């Protein structure tokens, strides 16, 4: 099992890195977690529900005003070079623009939407959220930047506004038309809980899972297994699926698939064509599974939640066709391993992670089974939900 650096250790490392880079001690700091989506995949752009949980992997940012008109930011992550950028403080006349290195666009985007009126500062970022592993390192960097800026300037934002600002930064500066899930959960996560997000109304509901209880036999945890593969895509896979969903909604005469149901889909099967029909079936059933998952947790029906997770995987594999052999293999292994309630691929697909609901006491044995049976090298984490982003006292 992956031993994850604790938050205090990560903060200390970040403070030391800052001191080495800029020759003085940082004064303000912030943290923002990554996330795993428990259920509700490819539902966000269909106005549906998603159900993510903030995980104890964080991006940390520390820094201070530097008394100049320059902003200097450095990262320790394995990103495109240079790992330190320097630019003039923006103004209305001279706003920030995207450019190279690419990683800095996530930070600049947040800065751009946060304020045109900020004094020069230095900052350092350290993160243990794996990059591009489907645990949302990008949102954690955006949200930590925004939280850091709140700490630095004393201006504070409502959580939903902050999440939307960070999403806008990703759209406009990183050219990634992402949904709202990642930024919402990084801002609003709660310990031992997951967050139901209605992607249409942006209403949220915190649902507490009783994992992390001292009563070991009864406690559950989420096992996240990184397949460590990312299949090369042609670039058309996701736009095509989005397009199929919008086409299905149009043919059904509804605003989005959120308003569709199984009967309507079946009635129009011939008109939709097999592929669009299958995409629609996934989305409509996945939105329904999300609602059922929340009910299952509230009634502590863990077997039911596990079943829903397996069903979600099958639907993503066979109907939405975004899984891959490695993710299927990992789910298959968990299906025959004692102590697992259910599992599924999580994230966009074609690689990345699976998430499994497991008995916490059995987690080490389950991890052992995965390492023994998976044909490639997996990275395994055991998580319970954590609180969302916050400032940290240094
Ligand atoms: P993920 O699923 O991890 O969010 P993305 O492709 O959306 O994957 O985002 C990864 C990108 O975010 C990286 O390539 C980098 O540009 C940026 N990023 C993530 N973490 C950091 C970090 N600690 N420092 C600088 N940039 C980061
Ligand atoms: Mg991302």
Catalytic residue list contains 244: no
In-domain check, residue 1 = no
Q: What are phi and psi of 355, to 5 degrees?
A: -125, 135
In-domain check, residue 374 = yes
- Could you report the per-residue pLDDT of 215-260, keeping only the tens digit for each? 444 689 999 999 999 888 888 999 999 999 999 999 999 999 999 9
Q: Note down the domain range covering 335.
A: 211-383
Residue 391, Cβ density class (10 Å: 0-12 exposed, 13-18 middle, ≥19 buried):
middle
Write down the H helix ranges in the chain. Answer: 7-22, 103-114, 137-153, 159-173, 181-188, 237-252, 262-267, 269-272, 274-298, 302-318, 325-335, 363-373
In-domain check, residue 342 = yes
Q: Same structural domain for residues 142 and 288?
A: no
In-domain check, residue 54 = yes
Q: Which ligand is nearest to the CA of 142?
A: 1
Decide: 127 in ligand 1 pocket, CB within 6 A.
yes
pLDDT of residue 177: 85
Is the pTM value of this prediction over 0.85? yes
pLDDT of residue 218: 62
pLDDT of residue 3: 84
Decide: 43 in ligand 1 pocket, CB within 6 A.
no
pLDDT of residue 342: 98
Of 96, 32, 24, 67, nearest to 389 by C-alpha is 32
Q: Same structural domain for residues 268 and 189?
A: no
Q: Same structural domain for residues 251 and 304?
A: yes
CATH number of the domain bearing residue 254 = 3.30.70.890
pLDDT of residue 214: 43
- Could you report the per-residue pLDDT of 16-39, keeping only the tens digit for each? 999 999 999 999 999 999 999 999
Decide: 132 in ligand 1 pocket, CB within 6 A.
yes
Site of tokens 């319970």? 384
pLDDT of residue 212: 46
Q: Same structural domain for residues 182 and 73?
A: yes
- Could you report the per-residue pLDDT of 182-197, keeping only the tens digit for each? 999 999 999 999 999 9
Q: Same structural domain for residues 151 and 224?
A: no
Q: Same structural domain for residues 145 and 235?
A: no
Residues of the chain with pLDDT below 50 are 212-217
Q: Same structural domain for residues 231 and 379?
A: yes
Q: Same structural domain for residues 307 and 353?
A: yes
Q: Same structural domain for residues 193 and 293?
A: no
Whole-angstrom Cα distance, residue 344 to residue 135?
Answer: 14
In-domain check, residue 121 = yes
Domain count, the chain: 2
Catalytic residue among 47, 122, 182, 244: 182
């Amino acid at each position: 099992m992956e031993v994850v650096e604790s938050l205090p250790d990560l903060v200390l490392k970040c403070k030391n890195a800052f001191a080495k880079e800029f020759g003085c001690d940082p004064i303000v700091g912030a943290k923002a977690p990554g996330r795993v989506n428990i259920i509700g995949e490819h539902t966000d752009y269909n106005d549906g529900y998603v159900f993510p949980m903030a995980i104890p992997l964080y991006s940390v940012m520390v820094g201070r005003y530097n008394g100049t008109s320059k902003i200097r930011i450095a990262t320790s992550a394995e990103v495109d070079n240079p790992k330190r950028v320097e630019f003039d403080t923006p103004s209305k006349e001279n706003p920030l623009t995207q450019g190279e290195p690419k990683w800095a666009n996530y930070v600049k985007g947040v800065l751009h939407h946060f304020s045109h009126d900020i004094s020069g500062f230095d900052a350092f970022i350290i993160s243990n959220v794996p990059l591009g592993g489907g645990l949302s390192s990008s949102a954690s960097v955006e949200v930590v930047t925004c939280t850091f800026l709140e700490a630095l300037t004393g201006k504070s934002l409502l959580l939903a506004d902050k999440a939307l600002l960070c999403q806008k930064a990703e759209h406009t500066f990183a050219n990634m038309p992402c949904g709202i899930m990642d930024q919402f959960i990084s801002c609003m996560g709660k310990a031992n809980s997951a967050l139901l997000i209605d992607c249409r109304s942006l209403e949220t509901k915190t649902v507490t899972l009783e994992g992390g209880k001292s009563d070991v036999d009864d406690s559950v945890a989420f096992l996240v297994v990184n397949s460590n593969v990312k299949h090369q895509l042609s670039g058309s896979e996701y736009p095509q699926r989005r397009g199929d969903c919008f086409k299905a909604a149009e043919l059904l005469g509804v605003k989005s698939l959120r308003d569709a149901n199984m009967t309507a889909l079946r009635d129009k099967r011939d008109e939709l064509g097999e592929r669009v029909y299958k995409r629609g079936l996934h989305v409509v059933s996945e939105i329904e599974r999300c609602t059922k998952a929340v009910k299952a947790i509230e009634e502590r029906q863990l077997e039911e939640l596990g079943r829903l997770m397996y069903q979600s995987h099958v639907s993503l594999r066979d109907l939405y066709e975004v899984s891959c052999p490695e993710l299927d293999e990992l789910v298959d292994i968990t299906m025959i391993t004692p102590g697992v309630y259910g599992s599924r691929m999580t994230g966009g697909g074609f690689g990345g992670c699976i998430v499994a609901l497991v008995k916490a006491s059995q987690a080490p044995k389950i991890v052992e089974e995965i390492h023994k049976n998976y044909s490639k090298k997996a990275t395994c984490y055991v998580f319970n939900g954590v609180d969302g982003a916050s400032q940290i006292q240094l």
